[in-house]
Amino acid sequence: MDPRIVDTTRLSYVAFDPAWLRVLRTSDGRRRTAQEALDAVPGALIALDGPMYRETGTGRGDPQYALLDRTAGLDEPSERSASGISLGIVDGRWAVRPGGVLPTGSKTGVQLYPTLVLDGQVQSTAAHDQGREWRAGVAALRDGRILFATGQMAMADFARELLALGAVHAGYTDGGGSARLVARDGTWRGSRENRAVPSWLLAVPTSSGPSRQLIVGCSLLTVGYLLWRTRHSELYLP
């Protein structure tokens, strides 16, 4: 069963087995659209825009945060090693540590900034961006899965929504015109700009096929989210 984009009242997400996480980054810095990223990696089912970057020329850019995909020969260090959190996949499970150094033994991973949720506590506050920009981020869930998400809201609200979906840890990738969550079937959520960016995070099924967690998880996640929203509706404005 392929993962599909799930819509709540405030954001859209996809949750999947952490062993599926892959990272795409061209060696020459050429930027790609989400569809180009999906087409570049055989079997890729979901794409989410990667970390913030600096432009280095027409159609090119360099991510500012750490990226790792040993299968693809990608190991890009961080320009901001003290920032955010780094999420890595070690022996098929997620692991998280502060800053821009990926957990030891990671096969794939990404540095996320700013930190949105850490040890089950929201980190974004009123000091963060309060505009209703498109947001994109990655969460490590209590049930062991990874979640890609996007939504249009203030940064602190985005963090609270990820916590409601079961995030133990979560961090930001990029937002505004870069924010885009796309499925292989053409379904997409996020900015209408369809911006090309230099890195993408992908969900690529392993040869062992989908786990039972993936098959039942989305339904359970949605039910838990709705219960949380019912109990905490006073936190949100209409």
Domain ranges for the chain, please list them: 7-206+213-233
With beta carbons less than 8 A apart as the criterion, state whether 47 and 37 touch: yes
3-state secondary structure of 95: strand
pLDDT at position 1, please? 65
d(CA 136, CA 143): 21
pLDDT at position 215, please? 44
Q: Which residues contact 227 (CB under 8 A, 6 or more apart)?
A: none
pLDDT at position 222, please? 55
Give the pTM: 0.86
Cα 4 to the center of its chain, rounded Å: 15
pLDDT at position 237, please? 39
The 8-class DSSP code of residue 19 comes to G
pLDDT digits (tens, 9 = 90+) for 46-61: 999 999 999 887 889 9
With beta carbons less than 8 A apart as the criterion, state whether 177 and 185 touch: no
d(CA 166, CA 31): 32
pLDDT at position 220, please? 53
d(CA 39, CA 58): 22
pLDDT at position 21, please? 98
Q: Which residue ranges in the chain fall short of pLDDT 50?
A: 209-217, 233-238
